[in-house]
Structure 1
Amino acid sequence: MSTGTGRPPTLERRETGEAPLSSAQEGLWFIHRAQPRSTAYHVPLVLPCPEPLDLPALRRAVDTLVARHDILRTRFPVRDGAPVQVVDASTTVTVAATDLSGAPDATERAHREARERAAEPFLLDRQPPLRVALWQGLPDGDLLLVCLHHIAVDGWSLALLFDELWSVYDAVLTGSEPELPEVELQYTDFARWERAVHATPEHRERVAARAERLRGLPTRLRLGAPAALRDRPGGGPVEDPGDAGEELGFELDAELADRVRQRAREARITPYLLLLTVFQETVRRWSGEQRFLLGTILVNRPDPRLDRTAGFFVNTVPLRCDNRPGRTVTEAWGDMRAEFRDLLRHADVTLGQLATALGAADRTSSPLVQVGFVMLNTSPRVGGRELPVSSLALPTQAAALDLTVVVEDSGGRFTGTLGHATAHYDRATAEGVRDTFLGLLGAALDAPDAVLARLRVPGARPAGPARPPIDLVADHRRRTAPTAGK
């Protein structure tokens, strides 16, 4: 890659101050501006603490993190009509403490207040994207809330921040100095560098190449036909990113998780790609479409020095899904591996850039993807214990996409949630999609040489207003289904 001067952009430390937003941040900023009260991009984690926390030590630990990571003391005001990020020289994030000792409903009240505090809007132009609260004196110990806005963190950052928080907390209690490695680069350094890269001709060529590969695929994906979608003119995308949402949980037992890992090794793919392939087939059955786009995320930390940097380093990307009739389960896994390799070659091409290239730009919602699949494999460590994010996260009651499946690989098991916008899909439809996904997974693991589209899923039958999954084995003759990307 080269700049206009012929030299590659250099990722280096710059003085703290005002900087542009990264592309990923900019997308969230526009959504926040359009729906400032939405909780869809809040990241609220609650931690029950059996042992009472030392409040002064906790405050010292939070102060240390805020001083250490610029993103935790960053505001996002508007300059000359465009958003910028401004790092304040110093910021104190208050740890709000409430003592409920002796209160008859202490536990219930603490959890209710934690939900309320987590749902409070972030004033991103005036306040840091972090709030911390502690409820003390509960019968079973203390309750800690750490709530961030997604514009400041990704999954990797959550694990990093929790690990550092407890390292500093323990050091303060023992009167020792915390041993934390230096943060060599801050998020603003990455944002400036990324903007320089995106200005290069080489990057523009990658955008054009990826857009051409996606051109012609439907940009609207419906699963079933719930009444809410039928009544919406044109079946358009979620107009309100803060639309009410619900979540359904599921878990793969230890035996099934082991079988996923074993089959993945045999197919020379990751468990993520194996599960994504099964979800792609689930979407095919529920949508009746052979070719469509699914959203997923890629981590974009292009320099090892960024491993100790907190920030929003993920890129939402559209994955091209072509379902060849007659392919076996194993062949489908191979197709997914090939498509994902192409996607990785364009990992820094953003959803907004693709939307613009395809003539479908929209700052407040994504016209390219409405259904997503994400896998998390970095879990926060608290007191030396690795805890799944799903065990700490408060439901936000808001949906960023129409429907998203998030699977977390933690502690040797797979736990998942299926979140859906209630304006688009009712609970019965969501349950049907979930059950089809889990049923197909078991069937695919049992018969990797079988034709994927012909696998039967016993008992997976949707209820409610949605039409059932469509069997395209007989229907594919009247459809065009090009071979998936090789």
Structure 2
Amino acid sequence: MRPEELPLSAAQREMWFAQQLDPGNPVFTMADCLELTGPLDHERLRAAWQRVQNRTEALRVRFVERDGQPVQLVEPPHERPLPVLDLTGEPDPLAAAEAFLDADRQLPSTLGPDAFAATLLLIGPELAWLHVKANHILVDGFSRSLVYARLAAEYDLPDAEPAADPTLAELLAEEDDYLASPAHQRDRAYWAEQLADGIEPTVLSGHLGAPARSTLRSTGLIPPDTVTRLQDAAWAERVTWQTLLIGATAGCLAQLAGTDRVVLTLPVAARTTPLAQSVPGMRANFLPLPVAAHPALGRDGLLTQVAATLRGTLRHQRHRHDAIRRDLGLTGDAGRSFGPTVNVLQTGGEFALGDCRARVRNLSTGPVPDLQILFLDSGEEGCELRIDGDADRYPQERLDLFRDALLGYLAEFATVPTELPVGRIAALPPAEREHVLAGGNGYGQQPEVFTDVLPRIRELALARPGATAVQDDAGRLDYAELVARASALSRRLVAAGAGPDRLVAVAAAPGTGFVTAVLGVLGAGAAWLPLDV
């Protein structure tokens, strides 16, 4: 059978173009470790995993270009054995397993046949880890839960008739129908009205930097008694647990940033139909959530506002964030994120494979443009707070400080009177808060003034001279080569009379020559005008 060729979804195209700008960046890989405790039939697991891949088209996709446009090829079901790594003979099997996960996390992401992969690590009697990784262009967080549900079903009922699952083609057709529907026009009109006055992305670091190539993580625990008080507060305010956590996070961020208006990024599944909720694939969307957190506002007023904004966002969640950013005129690094991402998950993820318990431990959620705040229900232990940050923007001590500030804020938020102004809830002790707002730890700083593209390219050439800067069918240029060629062209253009207030026409097909020409013209101080070749 020949592979089925399909276009990319809107979410996939966003991921595709992001990866063309930084090929191989490991942050595009999502990864989980399924910790398997109890009696496990290894052969039965391997057979179940093969059937999951046969059922799930998104796990059999590779990407190619056709006439300069990306397409996805869905390979027919084929044998893909689950590799097994036996670490039981190691002096410290757990340490060896963690070392494997750490090393694998650093491997370049790929858009080829290995964009999805898994390895079974044998650690000890009745203890194994299933390491699962996928390029974010294949699946989103919602999809992973579908895949693990399929794994449990295939393991428990190996002789059941194969399910007739909906296909990726049906998922794409549904998206096309939505884009041509009145519902899409209503969603677009909603966002245009909501953001008519524009928004200023909330960035808690004064350093913009290049797209993240690694992330750091800080974790903490909201103790069970505080969780109970927060849930009681949510009930008293007539809002959901998720709404309360998002509202409290907004209040804390407003203090740390020294502002009374913050913008959060809200991840949504963008799956509002039974079909979309049954097909693994990349559909996730990331929408702006503006919150007015004026210090005089009471807890009740803050949460009522957040609840109303959340309802509107969820009703109109299918309109893509890239379209919203374009309409707002957001460009550059600040435009890649509306603000810190906040997500509340009811469970860390557990399921059964027969008598074996599988606990999902997330290793990577994919790209973190700036800052990601995740709340994970940990059952009787409380609620885990996880903060991931771009390593170039947030050193570990800053993430730890923010973790401590948010944990302290939540503890107070749970107990204050409903009408108490949120400005009187202390995110940090007074001395530390003054230091933070003064910029000593980076919070409260405005993003650095936009830097021209040329200095940014030159900074990258100094930092990563051998990294791929631009690539086409004819070859590639690293940053050092690109800067050298562009500088040579700038000198020739200046000698020919180019300079400020002069226009230089550029006639070139997209590729290394085009990018070199644009940078060369800018380096000469002139403006460039693209001609349609």
CA contact (8 A) 2:212 2:392 kept: no
The residue aligned with 1:405 is 373
What are the residue-to-residue correspondences of 1:110-259 with 2, within 5 Å? 110-124=97-111, 126-127=112-113, 129-136=115-122, 138=124, 141-172=127-158, 177-178=159-160, 182-183=164-165, 185-200=166-181, 203-204=184-185, 206-223=187-204, 225=206, 229=207, 236=208, 238-242=209-213, 244-259=214-229
The residue aligned with 2:14 is 27
1:324 aligned counterpart, secondary structure: coil
CA gap 1:416/1:107 in 2 versus in 1, 3 angstroms: same
Deviation by residue 1:400-425 (Cα, 9 ceiling, x = unmatched)? 12111011235364212101112112
**CA distance, structure 2, for counterparts of residue 47 and residue 38 of structure 1:** 24
The residue aligned with 2:406 is 437
**Aligned partner (choices 37, 55, 73) of residue 68 of structure 1:** 55
In structure 2, give the amino acid aligned to 1:441.
Answer: L
In structure 1, give the amino acid aligned to 2:127.
Answer: G
Number of residue pairs matched?
435
CA contact (8 A) 1:19 1:84 kept: yes
Shift of 1:150: 2.3
In structure 1, give the amino acid aligned to 2:153.
Answer: S
In structure 2, give the amino acid aligned to 1:203.
Answer: H
CA contact (8 A) 1:239 1:365 kept: no
The answer to whether 1:303 aligns with 2:278 is no
Shift of 1:341: 2.0
Deviation by residue 1:101-158 (Cα, 9 ceiling, x = unmatched)? 433344322321233234433421x315321112336477333211122223333322
**CA distance, structure 1, for counterparts of residue 350 and residue 335 of structure 2:** 29
Shift of 1:468: 8.2
The residue aligned with 2:392 is 423
2:26 aligned counterpart, secondary structure: coil
CA contact (8 A) 2:31 2:132 kept: yes
**Aligned partner (choices 45, 70, 73) of residue 86 of structure 1:** 73
1:151 aligned counterpart, secondary structure: coil
Calculate percent identity across the aligned residue pairs.
23
Shift of 1:370: 3.8
CA gap 1:260/1:181 in 2 versus in 1, 3 angstroms: farther
2:217 aligned counterpart, secondary structure: strand
Shift of 1:250: 1.5
2:30 aligned counterpart, secondary structure: strand
1:219 aligned counterpart, secondary structure: coil
The answer to whether 1:330 aligns with 2:300 is yes
In structure 2, give the amino acid aligned to 1:57.
Answer: R
**CA distance, structure 1, for counterparts of residue 147 and residue 327 of structure 2:** 36
In structure 1, give the amino acid aligned to 2:150.
Answer: E
CA gap 1:287/1:457 in 2 versus in 1, 3 angstroms: closer
Shift of 1:16: 8.4
CA contact (8 A) 2:216 2:391 kept: yes
The residue aligned with 2:244 is 274
In structure 2, give the amino acid aligned to 1:341.
Answer: R
CA contact (8 A) 2:198 2:328 kept: no
The answer to whether 1:466 aligns with 2:440 is yes
Q: Which structure is richer in relative contact order (CA contacts within 8 A, separation 6 or more)? A: 1
**CA distance, structure 2, for counterparts of residue 297 and residue 371 of structure 1:** 11
CA contact (8 A) 1:97 1:136 kept: yes
Deviation by residue 1:174-226 (Cα, 9 ceiling, x = unmatched)? xxx1477542x22332223213322446524532441342244443433265x
**CA distance, structure 1, for counterparts of residue 87 and residue 127 of structure 2:** 11
CA contact (8 A) 2:252 2:409 kept: yes
Alpha carbon RMSD of aligned pairs, Å?
3.0
In structure 2, give the amino acid aligned to 1:37.
Answer: G
1:280 aligned counterpart, secondary structure: helix
The answer to whether 1:39 aligns with 2:39 is no
Shift of 1:39: 2.5
Shift of 1:72: 1.0
CA contact (8 A) 1:291 1:323 kept: yes
The residue aligned with 2:290 is 320
CA contact (8 A) 1:399 1:420 kept: no
Give TM-score scaled by structure 1 length. 0.80
CA gap 1:351/1:361 in 2 versus in 1, 3 angstroms: farther
CA contact (8 A) 1:74 1:128 kept: no
2:210 aligned counterpart, secondary structure: coil
Name which of structure 1's ranges 424-433 and 196-205 shifts more when overlaid on structure 2. 196-205
**CA distance, structure 2, for counterparts of residue 349 and residue 271 of structure 1:** 25
Give the structure with higher Rg (CA).
Answer: 2
1:356 aligned counterpart, secondary structure: helix
CA gap 1:300/1:205 in 2 versus in 1, 3 angstroms: closer
**CA distance, structure 2, for counterparts of residue 197 and residue 314 of structure 1:** 15
**CA distance, structure 2, for counterparts of residue 342 and residue 44 of structure 1:** 31
CA contact (8 A) 2:35 2:359 kept: no
CA gap 1:49/1:341 in 2 versus in 1, 3 angstroms: closer
CA contact (8 A) 2:155 2:353 kept: no
In structure 1, give the amino acid aligned to 2:372.
Answer: T
CA contact (8 A) 2:93 2:124 kept: yes
**CA distance, structure 1, for counterparts of residue 409 and residue 282 of structure 2:** 33
Name which of structure 1's ranges 209-218 and 271-280 shifts more when overlaid on structure 2. 209-218
For structure 1, the 5+ residue unaligned runs are 1-14, 230-235, 471-486
The residue aligned with 2:515 is none
CA contact (8 A) 2:298 2:421 kept: yes
Deviation by residue 1:372-395 (Cα, 9 ceiling, x = unmatched)? 111223524133788664xx1235
CA gap 1:169/1:368 in 2 versus in 1, 3 angstroms: closer
**CA distance, structure 2, for counterparts of residue 361 and residue 92 of structure 1:** 44
Give TM-score scaled by structure 2 length. 0.73
**Aligned partner (choices 383, 394, 399) of residue 414 of structure 1:** 383
CA contact (8 A) 1:388 1:408 kept: no
